[in-house]
Protein backbone atom coordinates (compact mmCIF):
# COMPACT_ATOMS: atom_id res chain seq x y z
CA UNK A 1 0.00 0.00 0.00
CA UNK A 2 1.40 3.33 -1.08
CA UNK A 3 0.27 6.24 1.00
CA UNK A 4 -0.47 9.77 -0.09
CA UNK A 5 2.68 10.68 1.70
CA UNK A 6 4.76 8.30 -0.44
CA UNK A 7 3.44 9.90 -3.58
CA UNK A 8 3.81 13.42 -2.25
CA UNK A 9 7.40 12.67 -1.40
CA UNK A 10 8.14 11.57 -4.96
CA UNK A 11 6.88 14.88 -6.32
CA UNK A 12 10.15 16.87 -6.27
CA UNK A 13 11.96 14.07 -8.09
CA UNK A 14 9.16 13.74 -10.64
CA UNK A 15 9.11 17.50 -11.08
CA UNK A 16 12.77 17.56 -12.04
CA UNK A 17 12.48 14.47 -14.24
CA UNK A 18 9.62 15.91 -16.25
CA UNK A 19 11.08 19.38 -16.46
CA UNK A 20 14.52 18.16 -17.49
CA UNK A 21 13.82 17.29 -21.17
CA UNK A 22 12.63 20.81 -21.91
CA UNK A 23 15.81 22.29 -20.44
CA UNK A 24 17.93 19.79 -22.35
CA UNK A 25 16.23 20.55 -25.69
CA UNK A 26 16.47 24.28 -25.09
CA UNK A 27 20.18 23.88 -24.37
CA UNK A 28 20.69 21.67 -27.43
CA UNK A 29 18.75 24.11 -29.57
CA UNK A 30 20.82 27.09 -28.47
CA UNK A 31 24.11 25.24 -28.91
CA UNK A 32 23.13 23.84 -32.30
CA UNK A 33 22.91 20.20 -31.27
CA UNK A 34 19.39 19.37 -32.37
CA UNK A 35 20.36 18.05 -35.78
CA UNK A 36 19.97 19.42 -39.25
CA UNK A 37 16.45 20.83 -38.86
CA UNK A 38 16.42 21.95 -35.21
CA UNK A 39 13.11 23.83 -35.26
CA UNK A 40 11.23 20.82 -36.58
CA UNK A 41 13.01 18.54 -34.12
CA UNK A 42 12.22 20.82 -31.17
CA UNK A 43 8.57 21.05 -32.16
CA UNK A 44 8.27 17.27 -32.59
CA UNK A 45 9.91 16.47 -29.25
CA UNK A 46 7.84 19.01 -27.31
CA UNK A 47 4.60 17.86 -28.92
CA UNK A 48 5.27 14.19 -28.32
CA UNK A 49 6.16 14.87 -24.69
CA UNK A 50 2.92 16.81 -24.24
CA UNK A 51 0.84 14.00 -25.74
CA UNK A 52 2.53 11.41 -23.54
CA UNK A 53 1.90 13.49 -20.41
CA UNK A 54 -1.76 13.93 -21.34
CA UNK A 55 -2.08 10.17 -21.65
CA UNK A 56 -0.30 9.66 -18.34
CA UNK A 57 -2.82 11.90 -16.55
CA UNK A 58 -5.61 9.72 -17.93
CA UNK A 59 -3.75 6.61 -16.81
CA UNK A 60 -3.33 7.96 -13.30
CA UNK A 61 -7.08 8.16 -12.87
CA UNK A 62 -7.43 4.57 -14.05
CA UNK A 63 -4.59 3.37 -11.83
CA UNK A 64 -6.15 5.02 -8.81
CA UNK A 65 -8.95 2.45 -9.05
CA UNK A 66 -6.48 -0.17 -7.98
CA UNK A 67 -6.61 -0.21 -4.18
CA UNK A 68 -2.87 -0.04 -3.32
CA UNK A 69 -2.41 2.78 -5.83
CA UNK A 70 -5.41 4.78 -4.72
CA UNK A 71 -3.33 7.77 -3.63
CA UNK A 72 -1.48 8.09 -6.93
CA UNK A 73 -4.14 10.59 -7.89
CA UNK A 74 -2.22 13.26 -5.94
CA UNK A 75 0.31 13.30 -8.81
CA UNK A 76 -2.29 14.02 -11.45
CA UNK A 77 -2.42 17.78 -11.18
CA UNK A 78 1.31 18.25 -11.45
CA UNK A 79 1.57 16.03 -14.50
CA UNK A 80 -1.46 17.68 -16.09
CA UNK A 81 0.10 21.09 -15.60
CA UNK A 82 3.34 19.83 -17.11
CA UNK A 83 1.37 18.63 -20.12
CA UNK A 84 0.08 22.17 -20.48
CA UNK A 85 3.61 23.51 -20.07
CA UNK A 86 4.86 21.32 -22.93
CA UNK A 87 1.87 22.18 -25.12
CA UNK A 88 2.61 25.88 -24.58
CA UNK A 89 6.26 25.38 -25.54
CA UNK A 90 5.22 23.31 -28.55
CA UNK A 91 2.74 25.96 -29.69
CA UNK A 92 5.09 28.88 -29.15
CA UNK A 93 7.83 27.08 -31.08
CA UNK A 94 5.37 26.86 -33.96
CA UNK A 95 4.35 30.51 -33.68
CA UNK A 96 7.70 32.13 -32.95
CA UNK A 97 10.45 29.92 -34.35
CA UNK A 98 8.66 28.19 -37.20
CA UNK A 99 6.60 31.07 -38.52
CA UNK A 100 8.23 34.09 -36.97
CA UNK A 101 4.95 35.59 -35.72
CA UNK A 102 3.53 35.78 -39.23
CA UNK A 103 0.00 35.86 -37.81
CA UNK A 104 -1.76 36.05 -41.15
CA UNK A 105 -0.05 32.88 -42.28
CA UNK A 106 -0.60 31.16 -38.94
CA UNK A 107 -4.33 31.87 -38.90
CA UNK A 108 -4.66 30.48 -42.42
CA UNK A 109 -2.66 27.45 -41.34
CA UNK A 110 -4.91 26.82 -38.35
CA UNK A 111 -8.04 27.10 -40.46
CA UNK A 112 -6.88 25.21 -43.51
CA UNK A 113 -4.74 22.34 -42.26
CA UNK A 114 -6.89 19.85 -40.35
CA UNK A 115 -4.01 18.58 -38.27
CA UNK A 116 -3.20 22.06 -37.06
CA UNK A 117 -6.89 22.70 -36.38
CA UNK A 118 -7.02 19.60 -34.17
CA UNK A 119 -3.90 20.62 -32.33
CA UNK A 120 -5.08 24.16 -31.83
CA UNK A 121 -8.51 23.19 -30.44
CA UNK A 122 -6.82 20.72 -28.15
CA UNK A 123 -4.62 23.54 -26.88
CA UNK A 124 -7.62 25.84 -26.36
CA UNK A 125 -9.45 23.18 -24.33
CA UNK A 126 -6.43 22.76 -22.10
CA UNK A 127 -6.51 26.42 -21.03
CA UNK A 128 -9.58 26.16 -18.75
CA UNK A 129 -8.18 22.95 -17.31
CA UNK A 130 -4.85 24.49 -16.43
CA UNK A 131 -6.35 27.69 -15.11
CA UNK A 132 -8.67 25.87 -12.69
CA UNK A 133 -5.99 23.62 -11.28
CA UNK A 134 -5.78 25.03 -7.77
CA UNK A 135 -7.53 23.97 -4.58
CA UNK A 136 -8.95 27.44 -4.37
CA UNK A 137 -10.57 27.10 -7.79
CA UNK A 138 -12.13 23.78 -6.87
CA UNK A 139 -13.66 25.46 -3.82
CA UNK A 140 -14.86 28.46 -5.75
CA UNK A 141 -16.41 26.48 -8.58
CA UNK A 142 -17.67 23.67 -6.44
CA UNK A 143 -16.42 20.15 -7.07
CA UNK A 144 -19.24 19.21 -9.42
CA UNK A 145 -18.72 22.08 -11.86
CA UNK A 146 -14.97 21.74 -11.58
CA UNK A 147 -15.24 18.08 -12.48
CA UNK A 148 -17.44 18.90 -15.45
CA UNK A 149 -14.86 21.35 -16.76
CA UNK A 150 -12.19 18.75 -16.38
CA UNK A 151 -14.03 16.29 -18.59
CA UNK A 152 -12.48 18.42 -21.32
CA UNK A 153 -9.39 16.26 -20.94
CA UNK A 154 -11.12 13.64 -23.10
CA UNK A 155 -11.53 15.79 -26.22
CA UNK A 156 -8.06 17.18 -25.50
CA UNK A 157 -6.52 13.71 -25.59
CA UNK A 158 -8.47 12.58 -28.63
CA UNK A 159 -7.72 15.74 -30.61
CA UNK A 160 -4.05 15.66 -29.64
CA UNK A 161 -3.69 12.09 -30.85
CA UNK A 162 -5.53 12.94 -34.08
CA UNK A 163 -3.20 15.90 -34.54
CA UNK A 164 -0.31 13.44 -34.45
CA UNK A 165 -2.07 10.80 -36.56
CA UNK A 166 -2.81 13.14 -39.45
CA UNK A 167 0.69 14.58 -39.40
CA UNK A 168 2.40 11.23 -39.99
CA UNK A 169 2.78 10.49 -43.69
CA UNK A 170 3.02 6.74 -43.99
CA UNK A 171 3.87 4.66 -40.93
CA UNK A 172 1.03 5.39 -38.52
CA UNK A 173 2.03 2.77 -35.93
CA UNK A 174 3.05 5.19 -33.20
CA UNK A 175 0.01 7.48 -33.32
CA UNK A 176 -2.26 4.44 -33.55
CA UNK A 177 -0.72 3.05 -30.35
CA UNK A 178 -1.42 6.32 -28.54
CA UNK A 179 -4.97 6.42 -29.87
CA UNK A 180 -5.47 2.81 -28.79
CA UNK A 181 -4.34 3.57 -25.25
CA UNK A 182 -6.65 6.58 -25.05
CA UNK A 183 -9.60 4.55 -26.31
CA UNK A 184 -8.92 1.76 -23.81
CA UNK A 185 -8.75 4.26 -20.95
CA UNK A 186 -12.02 5.85 -22.06
CA UNK A 187 -13.73 2.47 -22.43
CA UNK A 188 -12.67 1.63 -18.91
CA UNK A 189 -14.33 4.81 -17.64
CA UNK A 190 -17.52 4.10 -19.57
CA UNK A 191 -17.57 0.57 -18.22
CA UNK A 192 -17.17 1.90 -14.68
CA UNK A 193 -19.99 4.38 -15.22
CA UNK A 194 -22.33 1.68 -16.48
CA UNK A 195 -21.68 -0.65 -13.58
CA UNK A 196 -21.75 1.94 -10.80
CA UNK A 197 -25.54 2.60 -10.44
CA UNK A 198 -26.23 -1.09 -9.91
CA UNK A 199 -23.83 -1.09 -7.01
CA UNK A 200 -25.61 1.86 -5.49
CA UNK A 201 -28.99 0.22 -5.52
CA UNK B 1 26.94 4.22 -43.03
CA UNK B 2 29.13 6.09 -40.62
CA UNK B 3 30.66 9.23 -42.04
CA UNK B 4 34.03 10.14 -40.61
CA UNK B 5 34.79 13.80 -40.19
CA UNK B 6 37.68 13.39 -42.58
CA UNK B 7 35.40 12.11 -45.30
CA UNK B 8 33.27 15.19 -45.34
CA UNK B 9 34.31 17.35 -48.21
CA UNK B 10 34.28 21.03 -47.47
CA UNK B 11 33.10 23.02 -50.42
CA UNK B 12 36.54 24.43 -51.23
CA UNK B 13 38.15 21.01 -51.42
CA UNK B 14 35.30 19.86 -53.55
CA UNK B 15 35.79 22.76 -55.86
CA UNK B 16 39.51 22.07 -56.06
CA UNK B 17 38.95 18.45 -56.90
CA UNK B 18 36.67 19.49 -59.71
CA UNK B 19 39.37 21.77 -61.00
CA UNK B 20 41.90 19.01 -60.88
CA UNK B 21 39.59 16.89 -62.99
CA UNK B 22 38.55 19.56 -65.40
CA UNK B 23 41.81 21.34 -65.86
CA UNK B 24 41.14 23.91 -68.51
CA UNK B 25 37.90 25.19 -67.08
CA UNK B 26 39.48 25.15 -63.67
CA UNK B 27 42.33 27.51 -64.36
CA UNK B 28 39.84 30.26 -65.01
CA UNK B 29 38.03 29.48 -61.79
CA UNK B 30 41.20 29.25 -59.74
CA UNK B 31 41.77 32.96 -60.14
CA UNK B 32 38.39 33.76 -58.71
CA UNK B 33 38.48 31.54 -55.63
CA UNK B 34 38.75 33.86 -52.68
CA UNK B 35 38.00 33.50 -49.01
CA UNK B 36 34.37 33.09 -49.88
CA UNK B 37 34.11 29.94 -51.88
CA UNK B 38 30.42 30.52 -52.27
CA UNK B 39 30.88 33.78 -54.07
CA UNK B 40 32.55 31.84 -56.81
CA UNK B 41 29.19 30.31 -57.59
CA UNK B 42 27.82 33.50 -58.92
CA UNK B 43 30.60 33.98 -61.44
CA UNK B 44 28.80 31.42 -63.59
CA UNK B 45 31.70 29.67 -65.23
CA UNK B 46 30.06 26.35 -65.86
CA UNK B 47 26.74 24.71 -66.41
CA UNK B 48 26.32 23.82 -62.79
CA UNK B 49 25.90 27.31 -61.50
CA UNK B 50 23.56 28.75 -64.02
CA UNK B 51 20.31 27.74 -62.34
CA UNK B 52 21.12 29.02 -58.89
CA UNK B 53 20.03 32.31 -57.43
CA UNK B 54 22.62 34.50 -55.83
CA UNK B 55 21.27 33.88 -52.34
CA UNK B 56 21.46 30.11 -52.69
CA UNK B 57 24.27 28.51 -50.74
CA UNK B 58 25.29 24.89 -50.87
CA UNK B 59 24.14 22.75 -48.00
CA UNK B 60 26.88 20.82 -46.24
CA UNK B 61 27.66 17.20 -46.96
CA UNK B 62 26.51 16.40 -43.44
CA UNK B 63 23.13 18.07 -43.93
CA UNK B 64 22.57 16.36 -47.26
CA UNK B 65 23.50 12.90 -45.97
CA UNK B 66 21.91 12.82 -42.49
CA UNK B 67 18.48 14.29 -43.22
CA UNK B 68 16.73 12.19 -45.83
CA UNK B 69 13.36 10.86 -46.81
CA UNK B 70 14.07 7.35 -48.06
CA UNK B 71 11.39 5.15 -46.50
CA UNK B 72 13.16 2.00 -47.72
CA UNK B 73 15.51 2.60 -44.78
CA UNK B 74 12.88 3.87 -42.30
CA UNK B 75 10.43 6.70 -41.95
CA UNK B 76 12.50 9.09 -39.82
CA UNK B 77 14.83 11.58 -41.44
CA UNK B 78 17.82 10.07 -39.65
CA UNK B 79 16.96 6.46 -40.55
CA UNK B 80 18.44 6.38 -44.07
CA UNK B 81 21.77 7.58 -42.68
CA UNK B 82 21.66 5.10 -39.78
CA UNK B 83 20.16 2.05 -41.54
CA UNK B 84 21.70 2.01 -45.00
CA UNK B 85 25.09 0.56 -44.06
CA UNK B 86 24.32 -2.93 -45.37
CA UNK B 87 23.07 -1.80 -48.74
CA UNK B 88 25.27 -2.95 -51.65
CA UNK B 89 25.04 -0.59 -54.60
CA UNK B 90 27.47 -2.57 -56.79
CA UNK B 91 27.21 -4.48 -59.05
CA UNK B 92 24.12 -2.77 -60.48
CA UNK B 93 21.99 -3.20 -63.53
CA UNK B 94 19.05 -1.28 -64.94
CA UNK B 95 16.36 -3.11 -66.83
CA UNK B 96 14.88 -1.23 -69.77
CA UNK B 97 11.50 -2.46 -70.99
CA UNK B 98 8.05 -1.49 -72.20
CA UNK B 99 7.70 0.39 -75.46
CA UNK B 100 11.31 0.19 -76.64
CA UNK B 101 12.93 -1.17 -79.77
CA UNK B 102 14.56 -3.94 -77.76
CA UNK B 103 14.07 -4.60 -74.04
CA UNK B 104 17.46 -5.06 -72.42
CA UNK B 105 19.37 -4.86 -69.17
CA UNK B 106 22.26 -2.44 -68.93
CA UNK B 107 25.19 -2.74 -66.60
CA UNK B 108 25.57 0.54 -64.77
CA UNK B 109 29.24 0.55 -65.76
CA UNK B 110 28.25 0.30 -69.40
CA UNK B 111 25.86 3.23 -69.07
CA UNK B 112 28.50 5.31 -67.34
CA UNK B 113 31.06 4.59 -70.05
CA UNK B 114 28.67 6.10 -72.60
CA UNK B 115 27.91 9.37 -70.85
CA UNK B 116 29.77 12.38 -69.56
CA UNK B 117 29.31 13.09 -65.87
CA UNK B 118 28.51 16.73 -65.24
CA UNK B 119 28.16 18.84 -62.10
CA UNK B 120 24.70 20.18 -61.44
CA UNK B 121 23.89 22.24 -58.39
CA UNK B 122 20.15 22.21 -57.84
CA UNK B 123 17.68 23.33 -55.25
CA UNK B 124 15.72 20.41 -53.83
CA UNK B 125 12.28 21.23 -52.45
CA UNK B 126 10.56 18.59 -50.33
CA UNK B 127 6.77 18.43 -50.21
CA UNK B 128 7.17 18.79 -46.41
CA UNK B 129 8.21 22.42 -46.98
CA UNK B 130 11.95 22.19 -46.41
CA UNK B 131 14.65 22.60 -49.02
CA UNK B 132 18.38 22.20 -49.68
CA UNK B 133 20.93 23.12 -52.32
CA UNK B 134 22.84 20.06 -53.47
CA UNK B 135 25.85 19.64 -55.77
CA UNK B 136 25.05 16.53 -57.78
CA UNK B 137 27.15 14.69 -60.31
CA UNK B 138 25.25 12.95 -63.04
CA UNK B 139 24.11 13.01 -66.64
CA UNK B 140 20.98 13.97 -68.47
CA UNK B 141 18.25 11.36 -68.42
CA UNK B 142 17.75 12.12 -72.10
CA UNK B 143 21.09 10.43 -72.83
CA UNK B 144 19.93 7.15 -71.32
CA UNK B 145 16.59 7.45 -73.07
CA UNK B 146 18.44 7.72 -76.38
CA UNK B 147 20.37 4.56 -75.52
CA UNK B 148 17.09 2.83 -74.64
CA UNK B 149 15.56 3.65 -78.05
CA UNK B 150 11.90 4.08 -77.06
CA UNK B 151 9.18 3.68 -79.70
CA UNK B 152 7.33 6.77 -80.84
CA UNK B 153 4.25 5.47 -79.01
CA UNK B 154 6.05 5.89 -75.65
CA UNK B 155 4.53 8.91 -73.88
CA UNK B 156 5.56 8.24 -70.29
CA UNK B 157 8.53 6.85 -68.42
CA UNK B 158 8.15 4.81 -65.25
CA UNK B 159 10.95 4.22 -62.75
CA UNK B 160 11.18 1.46 -60.15
CA UNK B 161 13.37 1.34 -57.04
CA UNK B 162 15.19 -1.83 -56.03
CA UNK B 163 13.37 -4.19 -53.63
CA UNK B 164 15.79 -5.77 -51.15
CA UNK B 165 14.11 -6.01 -47.76
CA UNK B 166 17.13 -7.78 -46.28
CA UNK B 167 19.31 -4.75 -47.07
CA UNK B 168 16.61 -2.12 -46.75
CA UNK B 169 14.94 -2.62 -43.35
CA UNK B 170 12.17 -0.13 -44.11
CA UNK B 171 10.87 -2.47 -46.81
CA UNK B 172 10.13 -5.14 -44.20
CA UNK B 173 7.17 -3.03 -43.16
CA UNK B 174 4.37 -2.16 -45.53
CA UNK B 175 4.42 1.60 -45.05
CA UNK B 176 4.36 2.04 -48.83
CA UNK B 177 3.50 -0.55 -51.44
CA UNK B 178 6.98 -1.71 -52.43
CA UNK B 179 8.80 -1.32 -54.68
CA UNK B 180 8.66 2.46 -54.87
CA UNK B 181 7.53 3.72 -58.27
CA UNK B 182 7.67 7.07 -59.95
CA UNK B 183 7.02 8.44 -63.39
CA UNK B 184 7.45 11.35 -65.76
CA UNK B 185 5.88 12.48 -68.96
CA UNK B 186 8.25 11.94 -71.88
CA UNK B 187 8.86 15.66 -72.43
CA UNK B 188 9.63 16.09 -68.71
CA UNK B 189 12.05 13.19 -68.88
CA UNK B 190 13.77 14.67 -71.94
CA UNK B 191 14.09 18.14 -70.40
CA UNK B 192 17.76 19.09 -70.02
CA UNK B 193 17.28 19.81 -66.31
CA UNK B 194 16.29 16.21 -65.59
CA UNK B 195 19.31 14.15 -64.60
CA UNK B 196 20.26 10.75 -63.33
CA UNK B 197 22.67 11.47 -60.49
CA UNK B 198 25.49 9.11 -59.52
CA UNK B 199 27.29 11.25 -56.99
CA UNK B 200 27.20 14.29 -54.76
CA UNK B 201 29.97 16.57 -53.55
CA UNK B 202 32.31 14.57 -55.76
CA UNK B 203 31.62 11.36 -53.82
CA UNK B 204 29.95 8.24 -55.12
CA UNK B 205 26.27 8.55 -54.34
CA UNK B 206 25.88 7.71 -50.62
CA UNK B 207 23.47 4.84 -49.89
CA UNK B 208 21.08 7.11 -48.01
CA UNK B 209 20.81 9.44 -51.00
CA UNK B 210 19.86 6.75 -53.49
CA UNK B 211 23.02 4.82 -54.46
CA UNK B 212 24.15 4.08 -57.03
CA UNK B 213 21.87 5.99 -59.35
CA UNK B 214 18.84 8.19 -58.79
CA UNK B 215 16.65 10.64 -60.59
CA UNK B 216 16.81 14.39 -59.90
CA UNK B 217 13.94 16.52 -61.21
CA UNK B 218 14.60 19.88 -59.57
CA UNK B 219 11.29 21.60 -60.35
CA UNK B 220 9.21 18.87 -58.72
CA UNK B 221 8.80 17.91 -55.06
CA UNK B 222 11.54 15.63 -53.82
CA UNK B 223 9.47 12.46 -53.80
CA UNK B 224 9.47 12.49 -57.63
CA UNK B 225 13.24 12.08 -57.62
CA UNK B 226 13.21 8.32 -57.16
CA UNK B 227 16.29 6.62 -55.72
CA UNK B 228 18.24 3.41 -56.40
CA UNK B 229 16.62 2.78 -59.78
CA UNK B 230 16.63 -0.77 -61.18
CA UNK B 231 14.01 -0.52 -63.88
CA UNK B 232 12.90 2.04 -66.44
CA UNK B 233 9.74 1.31 -68.38
CA UNK B 234 8.35 3.19 -71.37
CA UNK B 235 4.57 3.42 -71.51
CA UNK B 236 1.78 4.99 -73.53
CA UNK B 237 -0.40 5.71 -70.47
CA UNK B 238 0.32 7.64 -67.29
CA UNK B 239 1.92 5.23 -64.82
CA UNK B 240 0.92 4.78 -61.22
CA UNK B 241 3.25 6.43 -58.75
CA UNK B 242 3.75 5.39 -55.13
CA UNK B 243 2.61 8.44 -53.18
CA UNK B 244 -0.29 9.11 -55.51
CA UNK B 245 -1.47 5.53 -55.00
CA UNK B 246 -1.15 5.86 -51.22
CA UNK B 247 -2.96 9.21 -50.88
CA UNK B 248 -4.28 10.57 -54.21
CA UNK B 249 -5.96 13.52 -52.49
CA UNK B 250 -2.55 14.66 -51.25
CA UNK B 251 -0.03 13.79 -53.93
CA UNK B 252 -0.48 14.12 -57.67
CA UNK B 253 1.37 12.65 -60.61
CA UNK B 254 2.86 16.00 -61.59
CA UNK B 255 3.93 17.23 -58.13
CA UNK B 256 5.43 20.42 -59.54
CA UNK B 257 6.68 22.80 -56.88
CA UNK B 258 3.93 25.37 -56.74
CA UNK B 259 3.49 27.95 -53.95
CA UNK B 260 -0.10 28.58 -55.06
CA UNK B 261 -1.40 25.05 -54.70
CA UNK B 262 -1.40 23.97 -51.09
CA UNK B 263 -1.05 20.51 -49.74
CA UNK B 264 -3.63 19.58 -47.09
CA UNK B 265 -0.85 19.21 -44.55
CA UNK B 266 1.69 21.82 -45.51
CA UNK B 267 1.18 25.26 -46.91
CA UNK B 268 3.46 25.34 -49.92
CA UNK B 269 3.86 29.12 -49.91
CA UNK B 270 7.03 29.09 -47.87
CA UNK B 271 9.81 26.68 -47.05
CA UNK B 272 12.62 26.26 -44.57
CA UNK B 273 16.00 26.09 -46.26
CA UNK B 274 17.96 23.65 -44.12
CA UNK B 275 20.53 25.65 -42.17
CA UNK B 276 18.51 28.86 -42.22
CA UNK B 277 16.44 30.29 -39.42
CA UNK B 278 13.70 32.16 -41.24
CA UNK B 279 11.47 30.68 -43.88
CA UNK B 280 11.83 31.59 -47.53
CA UNK B 281 9.19 32.20 -50.14
CA UNK B 282 8.76 29.13 -52.32
CA UNK B 283 9.38 29.83 -56.00
CA UNK B 284 7.15 28.67 -58.85
CA UNK B 285 8.60 25.44 -60.27
CA UNK B 286 11.21 25.78 -57.52
CA UNK B 287 12.75 28.68 -59.43
CA UNK B 288 13.08 26.79 -62.73
CA UNK B 289 10.11 28.50 -64.33
CA UNK B 290 12.10 29.74 -67.30
CA UNK B 291 13.23 26.22 -68.17
CA UNK B 292 10.02 24.26 -67.62
CA UNK B 293 6.93 26.47 -67.52
CA UNK B 294 6.32 25.84 -71.23
CA UNK B 295 5.75 22.15 -70.51
CA UNK B 296 2.57 23.00 -68.63
CA UNK B 297 1.09 25.90 -70.53
CA UNK B 298 -2.05 23.90 -71.39
CA UNK B 299 -2.41 22.27 -67.98
CA UNK B 300 -4.59 23.41 -65.08
CA UNK B 301 -2.00 23.13 -62.29
CA UNK B 302 -4.60 23.30 -59.52
CA UNK B 303 -6.24 20.19 -60.96
CA UNK B 304 -3.08 18.41 -62.05
CA UNK B 305 -1.08 19.07 -58.90
Query: What percent of chain B clears pLDDT 70, i.e. is strictly above it?
Result: 83
Q: Across residues B77-92, what is the average pLDDT?
A: 96
Residue ranges of domains in chain A = 4-200
CA distance B299 to chain A (A): 25
Give the residue numbers spanning the domain of B38.
5-296
Residues B182-213: pLDDT tens digits? 999 999 999 999 999 999 999 999 999 999 99
The answer for residues whose C-beta is within 8 angstroms of residue A150's C-beta and 6 or more apart is: A129, A132
Contacts of A105 in chain B (CB under 8 A): 267, 269-270
Closest partner CB to A112 (pick from B66, B67, B262):
B262
Alpha carbon B130 to its chain's center: 15
Q: Does A167 touch chain B (CB under 8 A)?
A: yes
* B191 occurs within a structural domain: yes
- CA B32, CA B59: separation in Å to the nearest integer? 21
State the pLDDT confidence band at B13, using cuts at 50, 70 and 90: low
- CA A122, CA A83: separation in Å to the nearest integer? 12
| CB-based contact B130 A167, cutoff 8 Å | no
What pLDDT is recorded for position A6? 87
CA distance A39 to chain B (A): 8
| CB-based contact B78 A167, cutoff 8 Å | no
DSSP result, A118-177: HHHHHHHHHHHHHHT-SHHHHHHH-HHHHHHHHTTHHHHHHHHHHHHHHH--S--HHHHH
**Beta pairing, strands B229-235 & B93-98:** parallel
Mean residue pLDDT across chain B: 86
**Beta pairing, strands B93-98 & B104-107:** antiparallel
Closest-approach residue (CA) in chain B for A112: B264
What pLDDT is recorded for position B265? 79
| CB-based contact A170 B71, cutoff 8 Å | yes
Q: Does A40 touch chain B (CB under 8 A)?
A: yes
Adjacent-strand bridge partners of B139: B196
- For residues B257 and B285, the answer to whether their CB atoms sit within 8 Å is yes
* B302 occurs within a structural domain: no
Instruction: Enumerate residues 273 to 302 of chain B having a beta carbon within 8 A of any beta carbon in chain A.
Output: 274-275, 277-279
Contacts of A168 in chain B (CB under 8 A): 75
What pLDDT is recorded for position A4? 87
What pLDDT is recorded for position A58? 96
* B301 occurs within a structural domain: no
How big is the CA angle at B27 (ends B43 and B192), to the nearest 5 degrees? 55
Q: Does B67 touch chain A (CB under 8 A)?
A: yes
Total domains in the fold of chain B: 1
Q: What CATH number corresponds to the domain at position B275?
A: 3.90.420.10
Contacts of B177 in chain A (CB under 8 A): none
* Phi, psi angle pair for B176, to nearest 5°: -130, 155
Q: Does B149 touch chain A (CB under 8 A)?
A: no
Pick the range with the lowest mean pLDDT from A113-117, B119-123, B264-268. B264-268
CA distance B271 to chain A (A): 10
State the pLDDT confidence band at B304, using cuts at 50, 70 and 90: confident
What pLDDT is recorded for position B49? 59
Q: Does B101 touch chain A (CB under 8 A)?
A: no
* Phi, psi angle pair for A36, to nearest 5°: -75, -30
How big is the CA angle at B123 (ends B189 and B295), to the nearest 5 degrees? 35
* B303 occurs within a structural domain: no
Q: Is A73 exposed, middle or buried (0-12, 13-18, 19+ CB in 10 A)?
A: middle
State the pLDDT confidence band at B5, using cuts at 50, 70 and 90: very low
Q: Is the pTM of this model over 0.90?
A: no
Decide if pLDDT at B35 tops 80.
no
B286 Rama sector, left if φ>0, alpha if ψ -120 to 50, beta otherwise: left
The 3-state DSSP class for residue B96 equals strand
What pLDDT is recorded for position B17? 52
Contacts of A166 in chain B (CB under 8 A): 265
What pLDDT is recorded for position A197? 66
What is the full per-residue pLDDT of chain A (201 aa) written as tens digits?
Answer: 788 888 989 999 999 999 999 999 999 999 999 999 999 999 999 999 999 999 999 999 999 999 889 999 999 999 999 999 999 999 999 999 999 999 998 999 899 899 999 999 999 999 999 999 999 999 999 999 999 999 999 999 999 999 999 999 888 999 999 999 999 999 999 998 888 766 554
Beta-carbon pairs below 8 A across chains A and B: 51
How big is the CA angle at B22 (ends B17 and B27), to the nearest 5 degrees? 90
- For residues A149 and A129, the answer to whether their CB atoms sit within 8 Å is yes
Decide if pLDDT at B66 tops 50.
yes
Amino acid sequence: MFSTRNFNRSKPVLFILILFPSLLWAYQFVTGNLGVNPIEKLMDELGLMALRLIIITLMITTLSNIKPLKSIVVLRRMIGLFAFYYVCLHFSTYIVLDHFLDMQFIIQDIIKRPFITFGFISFLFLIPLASTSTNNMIKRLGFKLWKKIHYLIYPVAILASMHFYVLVRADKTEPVIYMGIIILLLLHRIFKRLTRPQLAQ
Amino acid sequence: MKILGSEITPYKTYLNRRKFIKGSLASAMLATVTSSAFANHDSDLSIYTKNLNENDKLNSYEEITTYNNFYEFGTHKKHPHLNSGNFKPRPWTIKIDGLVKKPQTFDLEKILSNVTIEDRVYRLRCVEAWSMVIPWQGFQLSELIKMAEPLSSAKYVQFVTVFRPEEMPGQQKRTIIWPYREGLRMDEAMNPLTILATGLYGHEMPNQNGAPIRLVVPWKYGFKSIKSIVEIRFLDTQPETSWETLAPWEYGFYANVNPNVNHPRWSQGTERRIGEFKRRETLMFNGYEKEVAHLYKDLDLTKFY
